[in-house]
Amino acid sequence: MDNQQVKSCFNLVSDSYDKLALRTASVSAQHLVEFARIHTGQKVLDVATGTGNAAIAAAYAVGESGEVIAVDIAENMREEAQRKVSAVGLTNVNIREGDALALPLGDNSFDVVISASAVYCWPDILTGLRELQRVTKPGGRVAFSSWGEIGDNSVVGVYKACLQNFGIALPPVMPLQRVDTPDKCRQLLQDTGLENIEIFTEELGYYVESVEECWDFIWYTGNRMHLAQLEPEKIEQFKVEFLKQVKVLKTDKGIWMDSPAIFALAQKSVNS
């Protein structure tokens, strides 16, 4: 998965990315800001901001005396983030174009640098984290969030099985699998040279009532990228098969959307 694929996919899903079935994205962004211990007056960078959930949470945390810069590679995502920022009347958020692997920002510029539910989309995670470290002030913090391991007997598990049934080639290691455990996240931060590493985990799962909401989780997120290999009529066939299999997961409470979140926090050396 290269940057152009990532950009194209998220431009495509931007207008529906905040649908109710995807609500864990906004919840985890809020929690990331809390874990990063952002406070009044700080200068914060939000990398791969998407529709701006973490940037908006950070803007409230830093207050009028602080500043948030938010960057994203996808133009449509930036436009959606700007719309949300304007809708709530925030004036301390500046949204810009920016590639996580080559940030257009100076060294030692930010008190805190965050990235919510995005690092697994980067072609080279270690390069991206080193960029986050580079723009962080000595003694400042770097924090990111990811998703943990999800079993086969789940909505995501059904999706992967359907991909294989339709002959869609998947990489030996899926993008998320590079950061789907606390140990993997810790190792990446250590390899980056960051210190005082803290890892938090939290289950953010929820029930949905309909199988269509499970499809929203696929169609309006980066998961949709895999379906680009199919012709439109095949995608419709895929959807029918996916919904049929997901229906089996339904209980009297609904369909469980497993969302084990991982939050990783570290500090840049004061001697950097």
Structure confidence at residue 16 (pLDDT): 61
Q: Please, what is the Cα angle at 153 between 147 and 154, to 5 degrees?
A: 45
**pLDDT class of 223 with cuts at 50, 70, 90:** confident
Whether 86 is covered by a domain: the verdict is yes
Tokens representing residue 162 in the block: 């359907």
pTM for the model stands at 0.92
Res 11 pLDDT > 60: no
Higher pLDDT: 175 or 249? It is 249
Whether 193 is covered by a domain: the verdict is yes
CB 42 within 8 A of CB 62: yes
What are the pLDDT digits (tens) for 40-78?
999 999 999 999 999 999 999 999 999 999 999 999 989
Whether 166 is covered by a domain: the verdict is no
Q: What range defines the domain where residue 120 resides?
A: 3-150+175-206+259-267
Q: How many domains, in total, are found in the chain?
A: 1
Whether 236 is covered by a domain: the verdict is no
Whether 15 is covered by a domain: the verdict is yes
For position 122, which CATH number holds? 3.40.50.150
Whether 104 is covered by a domain: the verdict is yes
Chain-wide mean pLDDT for the chain? 92
Whether 213 is covered by a domain: the verdict is no
Whether 61 is covered by a domain: the verdict is yes
